[in-house]
Amino acid sequence: MREPINTREPISTREPISTREPIKWTPNTMPHFDGGLSLANLLSREEIEKARAFHRSIPGYLATPLAKLDHLAAHLGVRGIYVKDESRRFNLKSFKMLGASYAVARYIAQRLDTDIAELSYEDIVSPETREKLGQITFYAATDGNHGRAVAWAASRLGQKSVVCMPAGSSLARLENIRAEGAEAWITELNYDDAIRYVKQLAERDENGVVIQDTTWPGYEDIPGWIMQGYCGMAEEADEQLRLYGEDRPTHVFVQAGVGALAGAVQGYYANTYGEDCPITTIVEASAADCVYRSALANERVRVEGEMNTMMAGLACGEVCSLSWDVLKAKASFFVSAPDWVTARGMRVLAAPLRGDESVVSGESGAVGLGLVSIVLTSPDYADFRAALKLDEHSVIMCFSTEGNTDPEAWRRIVWDGLCPSY
């Protein structure tokens, strides 16, 4: 097994990013259209239900909680704030298994020339299926959560996995991936180059398959299946919101790395609510704000370099083309957020107002809630607050997509105040 190489200084010892780095935002001024196949077919109700049916067949599958933060909402002057808590998704502390497990299952169904609707988890792990398939090795690039999910899915389906991580990745997350049975190591590459590297590895392996949520020419099926899997999180949140007595959110804040999650969530709400779709804001790390820059340029823009941010899960330099089709058609606003925004969100969720429940949210999970807390309180962003039409009638949905997947980094931010927001 390869050992980590060229690991950058751990987040726990880095200097805080200047709190004077501003939040940047832009409305979606791109010509709108219907989203094409990304909405009409890829993220249709039928396809989402196939993914959810497969997930429900996995032993131990449960919906993750939707935290209802009434006291925070009252404090910030809105009707409701709700946070989908993905720290409790199996033992993986991340939503990523929804996409990875479904993509692996869809690939196996394709190999068996069978509709995934006719296969359950038990069918796929059966000795008969394994005998038909032979040995498959699933390859992935990751900052941690996606690779761990791919390794988790592969091991439970009786297959192998190989996972490569970009330079500077967390050693704790590396060990989590290895604990799921993967061969894994940290490279000297940034995230996008790591994807290209695993693609080369898989091409040299006659039984190799890349499981990635980004696209390139000829590689769209698997990213599409991952997005379908992610839609289950949004639908769960919607079902839970109605149990709390709300018909729908008025505002959705969702983070983007390559954009597959953002595209899936946006696509779900657009398909579900049509012209009554919530105002949706896509939030990125300022060091890797490819979606924000693409929105300004009205075309896909690539961010190069190290993309050094504590939001490791969002450190991606190029937006997935399938997601881009959805986001440019339906998203309302795009935001480039510095690290202090997510640090604030992590602390607000970890130490809630009395009466609200605590949510353990990791560096890539809290940026949406952090943004909400700032926009609703800071005079510096009064113009953005007005553009969003946030007021006492607003019902806000955020997605905390990971827990403390690197516990030491989480403690340094939440306990010790790394990267303050003042």
Of 143, 238, 289, 325, the catalytic one is 143
CB 250 within 8 Å of CB 241: no
Average pLDDT over residues 100-122: 96
How large a percentage of the chain has pLDDT more than 70?
A: 93
Strands 137-141 and 208-210: parallel
CB 337 within 8 Å of CB 374: no
Confidence category of residue 158, pLDDT binned at 50, 70, 90: confident
Q: Which CATH class is domain 100-221?
A: alpha beta
CB 277 within 8 Å of CB 264: no
| Mean pLDDT over each residue of the chain, to the nearest integer | 93
CA proximity to 139, closest of 191, 55, 200, 218: 200
Q: Which neighbouring-strand residues pair with 333?
A: 27, 281
Where do you find CATH 3.40.50.1100 in the chain?
22-95+230-414, 100-221
CB 161 within 8 Å of CB 182: yes
In DSSP notation, 151-194 reads HHHHHHTT-EEEEEE-TT--HHHHHHHHHTT-EEEE-SS-HHHH
pLDDT in tens, 236-265: 999 999 999 999 999 999 999 999 999 999
pLDDT at 227: 97
Confidence category of residue 22, pLDDT binned at 50, 70, 90: very high
Rounded to an integer, what distance in angstroms lies between the CA atom of residue 309 and that of residue 104? 29
| 308 pLDDT higher than 50 | yes
| 301 pLDDT higher than 70 | yes
* Residues found in the chain: 422
CA 280 to chain CA centroid, Å, is: 15
Strand, coil or helix: what is 59? coil
| 85 belongs to the catalytic site | no
- Of 5-9, 226-230, 277-281, the one with minimum mean pLDDT is 5-9
Question: Residue 345 corresponds to which tokens in the numbers above?
Answer: 């969100």
| 8 pLDDT higher than 80 | no
Confidence category of residue 1, pLDDT binned at 50, 70, 90: very low
Q: Which neighbouring-strand residues pair with 183?
A: 162
Which CATH architecture does the domain made up of 22-95+230-414 adopt? 3-Layer(aba) Sandwich (3.40)
User: What pTM, to 2 d.p., does this model score?
Assistant: 0.93
Of 50, 84, 93, 96, the catalytic one is 96
Type of residue found at 414: V
pLDDT at 422: 74
Q: What is the CA radius of gyration of the chain?
A: 20
Type of residue found at 113: D
Give 374's contacts (C-beta < 8 A, 6+ positions apart). Answer: 23, 341, 344, 381, 421
CA proximity to 417, closest of 372, 352, 351, 359: 351
Strands 24-27 and 333-337: antiparallel
Query: Distance of CA 116 to CAs 49, 50, 137, 240, Å?
Result: 11, 7, 20, 26
Q: Is 314 left (phi over 0), alpha (psi -120 to 50) or beta?
A: alpha
| 93 belongs to the catalytic site | no
pLDDT at 421: 82
